[in-house]
A = this chain, B = another copy of it.
Amino acid sequence: MYERVFELIAERKFSVLREELKDMMAVDLAEIIDELDKKDGIIVFRLLPKDLATDVFSFLSSHLQKDIVEAIHETKLNEIIEELFFDDMIDFLEEMPSNVVKKILRNVTEEERKLINQFLNYPENSAGSLMTIEYVDLKKEMTVKDALVHIKKTGVDKETIYTCYVINDKRKLEGIVSLRKLVLYDEKLLISDIMNQDIVSVSTLDDQEEVASLFKKYDLITIPVVDTENRLVGIITIDDIVDVIDRENTEDFQKMAAMSPNEEEYLRTGVFALARKRILWLMILMIAATLTGTVITRFENILQSFVVLAAAMPLLMNTAGNAGSQSSTLIIRGIALGEVELTDYLKVLWKELRVSVVVGFTLALANMLRMLILVRSDVTIAFIVSFTLGVTVVMAKAVGGTLPIVAKKLNLDPAIMAGPLITTIVDALALVVYFNVASVLLGL
A250 and B333 contacting across the interface, CB-CB below 8 Å: yes
Indicate with 1 or 0, residue by residue over A173-198, a CB within 8 angstroms of chain B CB atoms. 00000011001100000000000001
Is the pair B239, A278 in contact by a Cβ cutoff of 8 Å? Answer: no
- Chain B residues with CB under 8 Å of A184's CB are 151-152, 155-156, 161
- A241–B355 Cα gap in the complex (Å)? 32
**A290–B315 contact, CB under 8 A?**
yes
A358 to B358 CA separation, bound complex (whole angstroms): 44
Contacts of A137 in B (CB 8 A): none
Nearest CB of chain B from residue A402's CB, rounded to whole Å: 15
Q: How many copies does the complex hold?
A: 2
B-chain residues with CB within 8 Å of residue A33 when the two chains form the complex? none
Closest to A179 in B: B179
Contact of B218 with A27 in the complex, beta carbons under 8 Å: yes
B217 touches A423 (CB 8 A): no
| Chain A: interface size category | 35 or more
Whether B420 lies near A282 (C-beta < 8 A) is no
Residue of B nearest to A359 (CB): B275
Q: Are A358 and B271 in contact (CB under 8 A)?
A: yes
Question: In the complex the two chains form, is B271's CB within 8 Å of A151's CB?
Answer: no
Contacts A162-B162, A266-B331, A282-B326 given; 19 further ones with Cβ under 8 A?
A: A25-B218, A148-B183, A162-B180, A216-B246, A242-B242, A252-B253, A253-B256, A257-B419, A259-B330, A266-B339, A267-B339, A267-B340, A278-B355, A285-B318, A293-B313, A293-B315, A297-B311, A300-B308, A317-B317
CA distance A40 to B279 in the complex (A): 55
- A346-380: which have CB < 8 Å to B? 347-348, 351, 354-355, 358-359, 362-363, 366-367, 370
**Chain B residues with Cβ under 8 A from A313's Cβ?**
293, 296, 313
| Contact A216 B242, beta carbon cutoff 8 Å | yes
Instruction: Check if B275 sits within 8 Å of A293, measured CB to CB.
Output: no
Interface CB pairs A-B, < 8 A, 24: A24-B198, A25-B218, A155-B180, A155-B183, A155-B184, A215-B242, A221-B238, A238-B238, A242-B245, A253-B256, A253-B332, A257-B419, A259-B329, A266-B351, A282-B319, A282-B326, A282-B363, A285-B318, A286-B366, A297-B311, A300-B308, A303-B307, A304-B304, A314-B428
Residues of B within 8 A of A287 (CB): 370
* Interchain nearest-CB distance for A237 vs B (Å): 9
A274 to B, closest residue via Cβ: B355
Nearest CB on B from A259, distance (A): 5
- Is the pair A321, B423 in contact by a Cβ cutoff of 8 Å? yes
Distance A319 CA – B423 CA, assembled complex (angstroms): 11
Q: How far is the CA of A279 from the CA of B361 in the complex (A)?
A: 10
- Residues of chain B lying within 8 A (CB to CB) of residue A243: 216
Chain B residue numbers with a CB within 8 Å of A330 are: 254, 257, 259, 266
Task: Give every chain B residue within 8 A of A179 (Cβ-Cβ).
Answer: 162, 179, 183
Partner of A325, one of B215, B257, B329, B359: B257
Chain B residues closer than 8 Å to A258, beta-carbon distance: 322, 325-326
Complex Cα–Cα for A330 and B355 (A): 30
**Is the pair A219, B239 in contact by a Cβ cutoff of 8 Å?**
yes
The reply to whether the CB of A289 lies closer than 8 angstroms to some CB of chain B is yes
- Contact A359-B423, Cβ < 8 Å, known A27-B217, A183-B183: no
Task: Assess whether B427 is in contact with A272, with CB atoms less than 8 Å apart.
Answer: no
List B contacts of A218 (CB < 8 A). Answer: 25, 27
**Which residues of chain B are near A420, meaning CB under 8 Å?**
321-322, 325, 419
Query: A254 — which chain B residues lie within 8 A by C-beta?
Result: 329-330, 333
Instruction: List residues of chain B with CB within 8 A of the CB of A427.
Output: 314, 318
In the complex, are the beta carbons of A278 and B326 less than 8 A apart? yes
Q: Is A249 positioned at the interface, with any CB of B under 8 Å from its CB?
A: yes
Cα of A330 to Cα of B250 in the assembled complex, Å: 9
Whether a CB of chain B sits under 8 angstroms from the CB of A129 is no
A187-217: CB near B (< 8 Å → 1, else 0) gives 0000000000010000000000000000111
